[in-house]
Amino acid sequence: MKARKIQESEIAFAPPHVREIWDWLIKEANHEDHGKIKRGQCVRTLGDIAEGLKWFVGYRKETYSKSKCEMATNWLRKRGMIRTTKTTRGLIITICNYEYYQDPKNYETNNENITKPTRNEQPSDTIYKNEKNVRNKNNIIDRKKQILIPKIEEVILYFKENGFDESLAKRFFESYSVNDWKDSRGNKVKNWKQKAHMIWFKEENKENFSAKQKNINLDGFDPKNPNTQSKNWEDF
């Protein structure tokens, strides 16, 4: 059940992940003062938000990207719904009008004393265009073949989540990026995560990568020798 103020405000028409992050922040806020963190506040990082709203597809964990979490907090801050202060531990997030959301009277459907907040109408596609712009900043799309090319930060995060170190992630990224994201047979890498799982994610590569492998990647492609070929793996 949500307060009528929420359902009649601009947040009701925001993208789903913005609404979900807003609900989660209200739930995470302190119900009473704890030292310097007061009632209606919490200390969270963007990573905490992503982890707190994770879901699973089969056995695979999925989370919102850091950029989506950042866009959502910016969206809420610009509309005066939250205030944020940076600290070494993360963001101190203050829920504006927190007391209003904790008053049961504001959840009664027959309460006629609630003033309907003024909402400036936006074109229906404005928010989604903004979200699209953020997404396109973080991923470069080969429109011709719809190949999704990741950013180095995304690759590093994915490798770490699967137990592999940053240096291996960087070698993976550099190995394919220098070859325009083509494998040793000259075919486009259509699914980089699948390529990482099939070729790079091996027990011997966890947190350790031998010195002799620094210049040649596991797909048989040597960045210093573009003619290197491998016939042992299928292309994705």
Q: Express each pLDDT in 6-17 by its tens digit.
A: 666 788 888 888
pLDDT at residue 231 tops 70: no
The encoded tokens of residue 179 equal 């070859």
Is pTM beyond 0.75? Reply is no
Average per-residue pLDDT for the chain: 76
Ranked by mean pLDDT, the top range of 6-10, 92-96, 158-162 is 92-96
In this predicted structure, the answer to whether residue 111 has a pLDDT above a threshold of 70 is no
User: How high is the pLDDT of residue 210?
Assistant: 46
Range list of H helices, the chain = 4-7, 16-28, 46-52, 66-78, 98-101, 126-138, 152-161, 166-177, 192-195
For the packed helices 66-78 and 126-138, what is the interaxial angle rounded to 10 degrees?
Answer: 140
CA 144 distance to own-chain centroid: 26
Tell me the pLDDT tens digit for each residue of 17-71.
Answer: 898 998 999 899 999 998 889 999 999 999 999 999 999 998 899 999 999 999 9
Task: Locate 26 and state its tokens.
Answer: 């209200």
- How far apart are alpha carbons 207 and 164 in whole angstroms? 5
Q: Domains in the chain, ordered, with CATH?
A: 4-103+127-137 (1.10.10.10), 139-213 (no CATH)
Range list of H helices, 190-235? 192-195
